[in-house]
Structure 1
Amino acid sequence: MPATLPWHIHYYIMARSKVIYHVMALLTAMVWAVTFVSSKILLSFGIQPSEIFFLRFLLAYIAIIPFAPKRLWCKNVKHEMLMALLGITGGSAYFLFENTALQFTSAGNVCLLVSSTPLLIALLSIWMGRGEKLTRRLVLGSIVAFAGVALVVINDWTHAQLKFAGDILALLAALMWAFYQHLTKHAYAHYSAIFITRKVFAYGLLSIIIYFLFFPPTISLGVFSHPTVIVNLAFLGIIASCACFLAWNLVIGNIGSVASSNYLYLQPLIAASVSAVVLGEPVTWVMIIGMVLIIAGVYWSERQ
């Protein structure tokens, strides 16, 4: 019996072992695309954007406790402040912008504009001097993607200024996530993914509680008598936040960030399709053209 397997058999076994992670990446991208629709359904019950975020992260925090390390605090105050920034940029600020945007414009539009995040991350890296280079490919990709963003935003401005406001909020959400990605790189150098995830949930909750001191919640307990509300909250908190955060960390660790990010490009298409079926939101030619331009521009710039 040979000491090592022939190269083609070894390659086949390795490829088969990675299939599960590609499936996980696809399922996670699909779940995250549906969250835009799920949040919009909760908004229709009169639950405020801040309240949706609080309930979502509260469930996620409770669900992650059995799997998280027993350690509560970081190694020093500087790292603890970093975790607080992660909780704000990737938690409270991001979801406040995203959920509020859903009040003004369609779920498909919000997901489409948020999908420009990878491009914002690359441009932010250049601006902050993090090793990224301003290549011709990045410039052309940026122009194409921002043309798609401009098409969607200008179309909403000419039809309804409230939709335009929603588009701006969606872009602010994308910017928050871009900052979050940059900060996460520093955190991963010192702590495990599950420790960081739990801290993000914790500081996201703490920051939204401070927000509630100035803008108190108005949610009625009667809203929890609706099965639709319970199902969507459980979906957002336990599946979309806790399970998918953990799954995504496994995906990146096994197939890499480049391969995994390819699945996220499917989100606008999934979100637009689901919102059309579930919410009856129209899918216009402007949205389709904008979607093609944004995804093509982001994909082109990312393939450097």
Structure 2
Amino acid sequence: MKNKTIGIIYMWITIIFWGISFVATKIIVHSVPPITAAFLRFFLSSLILIIFIRKDIKYEKKEFFYMMLAGFFGVTAYFLFENTALQFTTPSNGSLIISATPVMYLLFSDILRKSFSHKIRYLGTFLAFSGVSIIVLNGRFVLKLNPLGDLLMFGASFSWIFYTIFIEKLHHHDNLIITKDLNFYGMIFFLPFAFFELKNAGTCPNFQLWIQPKILIAFIYLGVFCTALGYIWWNKAIRLAGAKTTTNGIFFIPIVTVIADSIMLKNYPNIYTIIGATLVLFGNYIAEIKD
């Protein structure tokens, strides 16, 4: 029980940083191409982790494959979808779609394990997903018509499911080294996409925009706190609190994002956001009753 409590603390610290990350990313992608922005974020985090974590792991062939897949889905695929989506949708909308991830993860993991969770957990996840649907399908989100951004964000959600499945298979290895390796290989997978994006941009990048103080601060925030430290804390939470409990924490990210979005970008929540966020909170509480 003590380990689970510590794991939940790690989860909450990460959620706060990740909730604000949608706002920071939205600021960056106005000046830096989205895929290039993601590559630079993980280049910074990988550099930090390589400098401070000097140890390595001798993986078995199958373990190395799992680590590579975790890096691809949890870093490359996830942020290809997320950063591109944020060009078409708002930070609040994006984080609320991502909060549907625990619903899909619950179904995927139960099917893979052939061991189904208590019906109360299904009820809770359904209520939370209903909250997400209210936000996405009603009010200002319908009026703004962001179907492309919403679909891309669901792609990010599915990518995170596969990341969680593969990272669980490496739980017996050192968390810090695993985080360093998956960040590095995720960054490598980004290279061809970033190169293709810049090559086909049509105009030369305006590097003066890239080095604006607000852009640099956002990059440091994303690279250090959300990525280098965030992945370490999140993987630690999965080990200590369990994958289902930790993944359910994603439900709370929209609450943080809506607050940050309101303060920093003046995107104030409407009645649909409030109703949806309430269902997300209540659904998560219900889901944990029988855990």
Tell me what 1:175 maps to: 158
Once the two structures are superposed, residues 61-97 of structure 1 have per-residue CA deviations (whole angstroms, 9 ceiling, x without a partner) of 0001133343366322x32222221111100111111
1:59 CA displacement: 0.5
Q: Kindly indicate whether residue 88 of structure 2 is the aligned counterpart of residue 104 of structure 1.
A: yes
Please give the alpha-carbon distance, in whole angstroms, between the structure 2 residues aligned to 1:195 and 1:272.
33
Partners of 1:91 and 1:201 within 8 A in 2: yes
Question: Across the two proteins, how many residue pairs are aligned to each other?
Answer: 285
1:6 maps to none
Query: Larger deviation: 290-299 or 255-264?
Result: 255-264
Displacement of 1:21 after TM fit? 7.1
1:245 equivalent among 201, 225, 231: 231
Q: 1:289 to 1:19 in 2, by over 3 A?
A: closer
2:116 aligns to what? 133
The residue that corresponds to 1:51 in the other structure is 36
Check 1:23–1:196 CA distance in 2 against 1; reply closer, same or farther (3 A cut): closer
Counterparts of residues 29-178 of structure 1 (less than 5 Å): 29-44=15-30, 46-71=31-56, 74-76=59-61, 78-127=62-111, 129-133=112-116, 135-155=118-138, 158-161=142-145, 163-178=146-161
Q: What 5-or-longer segments of structure 2 have no aligned partner? A: none
Tell me the distance in 2 between the aligned counterparts of 1:213 and 1:41.
Answer: 22
Note if 1:274 corresponds to 2:260. yes
Structure 1 stretches of 5 or more lacking a match?
1-13
Tell me how far 1:116 sits from its aligned partner.
Answer: 2.1
Distance in 2 separating the partners of 1:32 and 1:222: 27
RMSD value over aligned CA atoms?
2.9
Q: Tell me the CA shift for residue 299 of structure 1.
A: 3.7
Does structure 2 conserve the Cα–Cα contact (< 8 Å) formed by 1:29 and 1:266? yes
Instruction: Identify the residue that residue 181 of structure 2 maps to in structure 1.
Output: 199
Q: Work out whether residues 116 and 298 of structure 1, in 8 Å CA contact, stay in contact via their aligned partners in 2.
A: no
Secondary structure, aligned partner of 2:147: helix
Distance in 2 of aligned mates of 1:192 and 1:301: 30
With normalisation by structure 2, the TM-score equals 0.85
Task: Measure, in 2, the Cα distance between the counterparts of 1:230 and 1:291.
Answer: 31
Q: Is the 8 A contact 1:116 1:145 kept in 2?
A: yes
- TM-score with structure 1 setting the length: 0.82
Question: Which is greater in Rg?
Answer: 1
